[in-house]
Chains A and B, each alone.
Chain A
Amino acid sequence: MVNIKEFSSREERLSSGHRLCGGCGAPIIARMVTKATKDPVVIVNATGCLEVATTIYPYTAWKVPWMHNAFENAAATISGIETAFRALKKKGKIKKEIKFIAFGGDGGTYDIGLQSMSGAFERGHKFVYVCYDNEAYMNTGIQRSGATPYGASTTTAPAGKVKQGKEQFRKDLTSIAAAHHVPYVAQAAPSEWNDLITKAEKALNADGPAFLNVLSPCPRGWRFPENLTIEISKLAIKTRFWPLIEIENGKWTLNKDITKPLPIKEWIKSQGRYSHLLKPGNEAIIEKIQERVNKDWEKIKKLCS
């Protein structure tokens, strides 16, 4: 449990005045995660919204050491930094403890950066990889990614006269991360701040690589008003669309059981990216999504039992 009074008194590591959109989930997540340790942190950011909007030269919103290298290599880059830290510490050139955090969007993590992250996990670098998952390539203009949910309309898989948005289900990146048998993997959401900060603390204190997959509502891409970010995040939990789980040294835990879930239609109704699904004739698609949510939930319950 986090003491909110003490937590809010900690120094901000991502300052206000950055240029992310109003209502963006990414800076909320970044602030909570980076404040979850009192140790110094060094951050690597994959190319994406969080990167471009916080560091337009000659300005930076970061009050801690921060690096952007490219799109697909945040994990490889932080591998280099973390290794340099060990090499210089061994030689007595660095005395302090430092935590290492990599941020990537879903494009930079589920897709183009997956190999780099997998390699870094396998090698056992001590760092936390945080995926702020807004479920599409938002920085380049809402293109579908491996994280885009079934049925959502994006600019590269739009709903049209014969197609109804994305025709594939998203990949289960959290399980993929867990399959590396790293000490800590979790799924979180910004509305559940206590759960998210607690998970960030555990991840930062893990003895090896850790992974946080954090749902990051995107008003522009998901088509909802900017003041509803936290409400949308809550709806993802209540509909079982985004289960809050953690895998600690191989042990699965369901952090929030949703005993009376809202129908997935409530989630679909809340966002413009799904509006085509509400048209007559598309009921079967909603049913298919509901079935998948049910099946995934059962699977998670079994793993967590």
Chain B
Amino acid sequence: MKLALSGNEAAAYAMKHINPDVVPAFPITPQTEIMHNFAGFVADGEVDTEMILVESEHSAMSAAVGAASAGARVMTATSANGLALMFEIVYIAASTRLPIVMTVVNRALSGPINIHCDHSDSMGCRDSGWIQIYSENAQEVYDNIIIGMKLAEDMKIRLPVMVCQDGFITSHSIDVVEPLEPETVKNFIGEHKAIYPLLDVENPVTYGPLDLYDYYFEHKRQQVDAMWYVKPTLRQIFADFSKISGRAYDIIEKYFVDDADQVIVTMSSTAGTAKAEVDELRKKGQKAGLLKIKLFRPFPYEEVSEALKNAKHIAVLDRSLSFGADAPLYSEIKSALYNQNKKICSYVFGLGGRDINLEDIKKVFSEIQKLDNTCHDIRFIGLRD
């Protein structure tokens, strides 16, 4: 059944179909609608979930860590400053190996305060040990949350997952979404299996001990190992998911990339805009292509390297910055291509929700065609002088 849903509504539907045990929540724009919708499902008895309406995002993630350690299936959502306030506990959730799924509705971090989209919030957490999946549209939001839940709870992985979508652009735009049957989702994700739950009082465990130089390093290494299981496991989950949904996904998405001379690499909703421009340019005979990065953590270096082997000119479009260093996505792409002699350029766009349109994308494709060398300065799209 096809429904007209916003990205936030799609996220709430995915949560409804997963029917988690506990959802701690705190309001922040543009994430709020997810919890409005989900609270409605709770109020109507459509889910069994206990919500904890906490007094801050710090407490939301703290309660999520507590509930997941207790043995519950836990989900939450946030944006921007809310994620920043959670930051300390975001790391603890990952290092405690808790399979929490959190929707991050990407929004610019303060200051100055701004409520619109960029990726500075989730990029700030890229080294926290969470798996990060970025969604292009509302359908992907719904699918990625369900896929993310199954991935997080995989026995070899047991890591939390951030499912990101673009604030307002995706979260508040109405899109066509085809949800699965609740029963199908239930069977797909299966029963939640707790590991060493705190509530198993017959088998007491100590969580979060003081871990010094004699063991801490080995525990970090275990997190590294868990991350390496993500790519093969996610590929298997994508394959299984396509059987129940008819929708095929991969950790990167190649759109006319194989024979392309010019390739734009980007994430989330901008991938949709770029696809439309690729269609236009292909009609005119330009060999343009788009590479969408869906899985940002762990980063698919080999896949990117392989995908871009034929490209002559590459533009990486970041919706966030790293002041005094390469922008996050560009930094990874450059790293993936370190042994290929590519002409590659870093573009930063859309900070604080500034729009990016087909003309902007067209201009990038045109500019990089003339690239003689890798450009050394960041180019800004749609920025006043």
Contacts and interface: CB of A to CB of B under 8 A. Distances in A.
B53 to A, nearest CB: 7
Main secondary structure of the interface of B (DSSP, over half): mixed
Contacts of A66: 204-207
A70 B89 contact: yes
A253 B207 CA distance: 38
A69 B62 contact: yes
A81 interface: yes
Contacts of A83: 22, 24, 50, 52, 63, 67, 72
A167 B190 CA distance: 59
A57 B212 contact: yes
A55 B210 contact: yes
A2 interface: no
Contact of B48 (A51, A62, A91, A115): A91
Interface in B20-77: 21-22, 24, 48-50, 52-56, 58-60, 62-72, 74
A55 B89 contact: no
A80 B210 contact: no
B201 A98 contact: yes
B211 interface: yes
B189 interface: no
Contacts of B68: 80, 84
B54 A79 contact: yes
Contacts of A80: 22, 24, 52, 62-70, 74
Given A80-B67, A84-B21, A123-B53, A69 B208 contact: yes
B65 A77 contact: yes
What is the size category of the interface that chain A forms with chain B? Answer: 35 or more
A86 B207 contact: no
Contact of A81 (B48, B56, B70): B70
Nearest to B69: A67
B208 to A, nearest CB: 4
A73 B207 CA distance: 14
Q: Which of B24, B59, B60 has the most CB of A within 10 A?
A: B59
A197 interface: no
A156 B148 CA distance: 47
A241 B335 CA distance: 64
Interface in A43-64: 44, 51-52, 55-58, 60, 62-64
A76 interface: yes
Nearest to A45: B208
A45 to B, nearest CB: 8
Contacts of A88: 21, 70-72, 199
A119 B63 CA distance: 11
Nearest to B66: A80
Interface in B205-227: 205-212, 215
Contacts of A51: 210
A99 to B, nearest CB: 10
B179 to A, nearest CB: 24
B200 interface: yes
Nearest to B208: A68
A86 B21 CA distance: 9
A84 B58 contact: no
Contact of B198 (A56, A67, A72): A67
A297 interface: no
A79 B49 CA distance: 15
A78 interface: yes
A40 interface: yes
A42 interface: yes
A96 B201 CA distance: 9
Given A57-B211, A57-B212, A91-B48, A77 B71 contact: no
B280 interface: no
A84 B66 CA distance: 8
Contacts of A118: 55
Contacts of B62: 69-70, 73, 76-77, 79-80, 116
Nearest to B91: A70
Contact of A87 (B69, B72, B211): B72
A13 to B, nearest CB: 9
B66 A69 contact: yes
Contacts of A44: 66
Given A55-B208, A65-B204, 6 more contacts: A57-B210, A57-B215, A79-B63, A85-B199, A91-B21, A123-B52
7 contacts: A42-B70, A80-B52, A80-B64, A80-B70, A85-B70, A87-B49, A116-B62
Interface of A: 40-42, 44, 51-52, 55-58, 60, 62-70, 72-73, 76-81, 83-88, 90-91, 94, 96, 98, 115-116, 118-119, 122-123
10 tightest A-B CB contacts, nearest first: A80-B66, A119-B55, A80-B63, A84-B70, A76-B59, A73-B62, A80-B67, A55-B209, A68-B208, A76-B62
